[in-house]
Amino acid sequence: MCDHLYVVTGGPGTGKSTLIEELARRGTRSMPEAGRAIIRDQVAIRGPALPWGDRALYAELMLGWELRSYHEAEAMTGPVIMDRGIPDIVGYLRLIGLAVPAHIEAAARRFCYNGTVFLAPYWDAIFTQDTERKQDRREAEATGRVMAETYAGLGYEVVELPRVSVEARADFVRERVGD
């Protein structure tokens, strides 16, 4: 297990990326989210691997991205904050009702993170949508639930982030990762 790799997960629009940007500003290493980058690239090339297109192919591209991020972060020293992790792909497939391929399930079990996973809960005050984040409130809440269940099912302790300012959230995380 890579105890220095900490996942932040949750539904879209719940402040994950904003928190990670604040942690990075304070000097904590981080790895970016796969989904947004894949969407941007696929839209730019008019590719089919999109959450509103070929969802199975989108999941496969996320797996490749997350494996690369994992190996890059694994080589780093000190805490590394991961904007989602490989189990998020399992959760995504479950959320949309697609079967989880055996190789994705195997990846989620083989490539482990720190036992503490931070969940950004749905929070109406900060929820936003944009061109890459099209999910509504209901789907954002459901995503958070599925991610919590997926990580807990894999043996992780899911710690919900408090609904406080981004600075206070960053303090909360830093206290727990020892950075």
pTM: 0.91
Q: Give the CATH number of the domain where residue 97 resides.
A: 3.40.50.300
Residues 65/34, Cβ–Cβ less than 8 Å: yes
Number of structural domains (the chain) is 1
pLDDT in tens, 59-90: 999 999 999 999 999 999 999 999 999 999 99
Q: How far is CA 32 from CA 53, 84, 94, 153, in A?
A: 22, 8, 22, 24
Across the chain, which has 179 residues, the per-10-residue mean pLDDT values are 90 87 95 88 94 94 95 94 96 96 97 96 68 65 93 97 94 90
Domain extent at residue 123: 5-177
pLDDT at 13: 77
Asked if residue 22 lies in contact with residue 133, where contact means CB atoms within 8 angstroms, the answer is no
Q: Starting from the edge strand earliest in sequence, which strands make up the sheet with 116-120, in order?
A: 29-31, 80-83, 5-10, 116-120, 157-160
pLDDT per residue as tens digits for the range 43-60: 999 999 998 899 999 999
Q: Can you give the C-alpha Rg of the chain in angstroms?
A: 15
- Could you identify the residue written with the tokens 């809960």? 121
